């Protein structure tokens, strides 16, 4: 794999940096989105029980993200700011430390996930067939609690250096391998065994392990090391290292866990409504999740740029990143939300075949598509504030949202109607509560940052 040069994000036009950093992520995630939809279609061929079993695992995706964010967010903030301050050797040593911590957390999480598969799947389906499929899939997928966490730690370190091309290439290779192995292992094509839904899980595991190998080879190639390249060095655990993991990483991880809790609350509340509703909540969210990926790309680019400029004390550039990032994300979300609202019946065909499943899927998108602008106004502030080491701020909005959603689902919706679709509506309404809080906190942070920088400049002696 050709080496990509990291970028110095403390100089040059901000819009150009955002486009050049976000574009590789968008390209890779577009491929991943296509794969995710194809994967759902392959699983659909195994029957309704397989789709429902797969849907129960989607909530676990955010549990993995929550665990990864504890390390990855703190890592991105510290490494990007170290790069901005020109302390690249220190950043490399810190990266080695975060790699060790991430691998340890991932290993423990994978073991815990494997042994909790029965209890986890039972929380979201009462169908014996769906339960069996879900447990089979989840036991194999437990390996990804380790693999995906390590990949996120590796990817965030490379992004902190200003290199977004390498994570894109790793993701493209991983997705292509995953997509190729899926039908071979699920249906036993050629010399491969027929593993059913477990085959889909094994394809993902193999693809993610390959991603780790590709990253590791890059970090070990000292003979091709550039002056700004991220690589492994002797680990260092400076004073306050684990305290920062707790004060910066834990709030970020908790926020992603609360995203998991949102989906968990919805799926648990719809458990008695039948498999069609469980599938719509889980698989429908999987489709929606793919539309979020460009927002993640914008957020990742904004976080890396903000981090380096915070390290270089270029506070006006941080403000410009926040302004442009939020504006572009909101424009994208309005367009995609509109398309999903009117095209939800078509999108439901990705995971549903029966008339009931298609009808429930279409209703899911009618209620959920209007939440897209709220996601834009949540993701961008969250990424920028986390890169600044202020992860506790967006967490407050997430906590409020989950609390309101729990009250709505348990008390308000049942009192108003017997229509379970209103549960999806409650998710959308509370998403705007979180978005309003996150946006306000970002605006307050940027305003204080710029004013503080201006005050420091005015008080500095003339050179």
Summarize pLDDT for 31-55 with one digit per residue, the tens.
Answer: 666 666 666 677 877 887 887 777 7
Secondary structure letter of residue 390 according to DSSP: -
Mean pLDDT for the chain? 84
The pLDDT value given to residue 459: 39
Band of pLDDT at residue 80, cut at 50, 70 and 90: confident
The pLDDT value given to residue 457: 38
Lowest mean pLDDT, pick from 79-83, 158-162, 221-225: 221-225
**CA separation for the pair 230, 224 (Å, rounded):** 11
Percent of the chain with pLDDT over 70: 92
Q: What are phi and psi of 221, to 5 degrees?
A: -85, 75
**Of 176, 195, 177, 175, which is closest to residue 185 (Cα–Cα)?**
195
Tokens 């499943």 -> residue: 357
Token code pair at residue 10: 């403390």
Helices (H) then strands (E): counts for the chain: 18, 0
**CA separation for the pair 38, 31 (Å, rounded):** 11
Token code pair at residue 228: 């700004």
Distances (CA, A) of 263 to 8, 137, 150, 405, 409: 38, 19, 24, 10, 12
Percent of the chain with pLDDT over 90: 29
Token code pair at residue 5: 């040069």
Per-residue pLDDT of 179-215, as tens digits, reads 889 889 989 988 888 998 889 889 989 999 999 999 9
> Taking a C-beta distance cutoff of 8 angstroms, is the pair 449, 306 a contact?
no
**CA separation for the pair 302, 325 (Å, rounded):** 7
Lowest mean pLDDT, pick from 224-233, 399-408, 431-440: 224-233
**CA separation for the pair 88, 79 (Å, rounded):** 8
**CA separation for the pair 124, 134 (Å, rounded):** 10
Helix (H) or strand (E) holding 294: helix 275-311
Would you give the distance in Å from CA 209 to the centre of its chain? 19
> Taking a C-beta distance cutoff of 8 angstroms, is the pair 109, 145 a contact?
yes
Model confidence at 76: pLDDT above 50: yes
The pLDDT value given to residue 29: 64
Distances (CA, A) of 130 to 43, 59, 103, 236, 351: 12, 15, 32, 47, 15
Lowest mean pLDDT, pick from 3-7, 95-99, 189-193, 280-284: 3-7
Per-residue pLDDT of 353-401, as tens digits, reads 788 888 888 999 999 999 999 999 998 998 888 878 787 777 888 889 9
The pLDDT value given to residue 28: 66
If one compares 143 and 265, the residue with the highest pLDDT of the two is 143
Model confidence at 446: pLDDT above 50: yes
Per-residue pLDDT of 288-329, as tens digits, reads 877 887 888 888 888 888 888 888 889 999 999 999 999 999
Per-residue pLDDT of 229-261, as tens digits, reads 899 999 999 998 998 888 878 887 787 777 777
Lowest mean pLDDT, pick from 26-30, 288-292, 406-410: 26-30
> Taking a C-beta distance cutoff of 8 angstroms, is the pair 33, 107 a contact?
no
Model confidence at 271: pLDDT above 90: no
The pLDDT value given to residue 34: 63
Secondary structure letter of residue 462 according to DSSP: P
Question: How large is the angle between the packed helices 392-407 and 250-269, nearest 10 degrees?
Answer: 20
The pLDDT value given to residue 463: 26
**Of 412, 383, 378, which is closest to residue 398 (Cα–Cα)?**
378
The pLDDT value given to residue 462: 33
Token code pair at residue 151: 């990949």
Model confidence at 268: pLDDT above 50: yes
Q: Where are the alpha helices (DSSP H) in 85-196?
A: 88-115, 117-122, 128-141, 144-160, 165-187
> Taking a C-beta distance cutoff of 8 angstroms, is the pair 43, 82 a contact?
no
Token code pair at residue 277: 């509703």
Band of pLDDT at residue 456, cut at 50, 70 and 90: very low
6: left (phi over 0), alpha (psi -120 to 50) or beta: beta
**Of 215, 239, 1, 249, which is closest to residue 105 (Cα–Cα)?**
249
The pLDDT value given to residue 461: 37
**CA separation for the pair 326, 156 (Å, rounded):** 21
The pLDDT value given to residue 266: 85
The pLDDT value given to residue 460: 36
Average pLDDT over residues 316-343: 93
**CA separation for the pair 396, 385 (Å, rounded):** 12
Average pLDDT over residues 209-229: 86
Stated length of the chain: 463
Distances (CA, A) of 40 to 177, 285, 344, 354, 420: 16, 12, 16, 15, 24
Q: How many CB atoms sit inside 10 A of residue 455's CB? A: 10
The pLDDT value given to residue 371: 94
> Taking a C-beta distance cutoff of 8 angstroms, is the pair 345, 370 a contact?
no
């Amino acid at each position: 794999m050709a080496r990509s040069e990291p970028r110095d994000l403390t100089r040059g036009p901000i819009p150009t940096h955002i486009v050049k950093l976000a574009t590789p992520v968008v390209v890779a995630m577009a491929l991943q989105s296509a794969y995710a939809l194809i994967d759902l279609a392959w699983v659909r061929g195994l029957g309704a029980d397989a789709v429902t079993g797969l849907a129960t695992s989607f909530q676990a995706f955010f549990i993995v993200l929550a665990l990864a964010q504890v390390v990855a967010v703190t890592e991105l903030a510290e490494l990007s700011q170290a790069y901005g301050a020109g302390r690249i050797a220190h950043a490399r040593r810190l990266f080695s430390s975060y790699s060790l911590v991430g691998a340890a957390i991932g290993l423990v999480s994978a073991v815990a996930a494997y042994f909790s598969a029965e209890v986890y799947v039972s929380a979201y389906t009462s169908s014996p067939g769906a339960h069996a499929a879900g447990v089979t899939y989840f036991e194999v997928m437990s390996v990804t609690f380790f693999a995906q966490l390590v990949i996120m730690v590796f990817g965030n370190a490379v992004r902190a250096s200003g290199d977004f091309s390498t994570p894109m290439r790793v993701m493209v290779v991983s997705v292509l391998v995953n997509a190729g192995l899926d039908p071979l292992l699920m249906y036993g094509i050629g010399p491969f065994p027929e593993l059913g839904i477990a085959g889909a899980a094994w394809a993902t595991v193999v693809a993610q392990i390959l991603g780790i190998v590709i990253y590791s080879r890059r970090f070990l190639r000292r003979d091709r090391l550039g002056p700004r390249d991220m690589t492994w060095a002797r680990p260092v655990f400076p004073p306050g290292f684990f305290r920062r993991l707790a004060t910066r990483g834990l709030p970020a991880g908790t926020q992603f866990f609360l995203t998991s809790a949102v989906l968990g609350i919805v799926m648990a509340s719809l458990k008695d409504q039948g498999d069609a509703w469980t599938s719509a909540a889980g698989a429908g969210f999987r489709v929606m999740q793919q539309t979020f990926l460009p927002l993640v790309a914008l957020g990742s680019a904004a976080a890396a740029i903000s981090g380096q400029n915070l390290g270089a004390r270029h506070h006006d550039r941080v403000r410009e990143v926040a302004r442009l990032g939020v504006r572009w994300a909101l424009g994208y979300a309005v367009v995609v939300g509109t398309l999903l609202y009117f095209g939800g019946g078509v999108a439901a065909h990705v995971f549903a075949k029966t008339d009931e499943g298609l009808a429930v899927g279409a209703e899911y998108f009618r209620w959920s598509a209007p939440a897209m602008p709220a996601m834009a106004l949540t993701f961008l502030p969250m990424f920028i504030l986390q890169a600044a080491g202020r992860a506790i701020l967006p967490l407050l909005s997430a906590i409020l949202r989950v609390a309101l959603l729990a009250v709505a689902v348990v008390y308000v919706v049942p009192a108003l109607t017997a229509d379970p679709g209103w549960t999806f509506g409650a998710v959308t309404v509370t998403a705007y509560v979180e978005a309003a809080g996150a946006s306000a906190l970002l605006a307050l942070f940027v305003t204080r940052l710029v004013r503080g920088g201006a005050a420091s400049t005015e008080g500095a002696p003339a050179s």
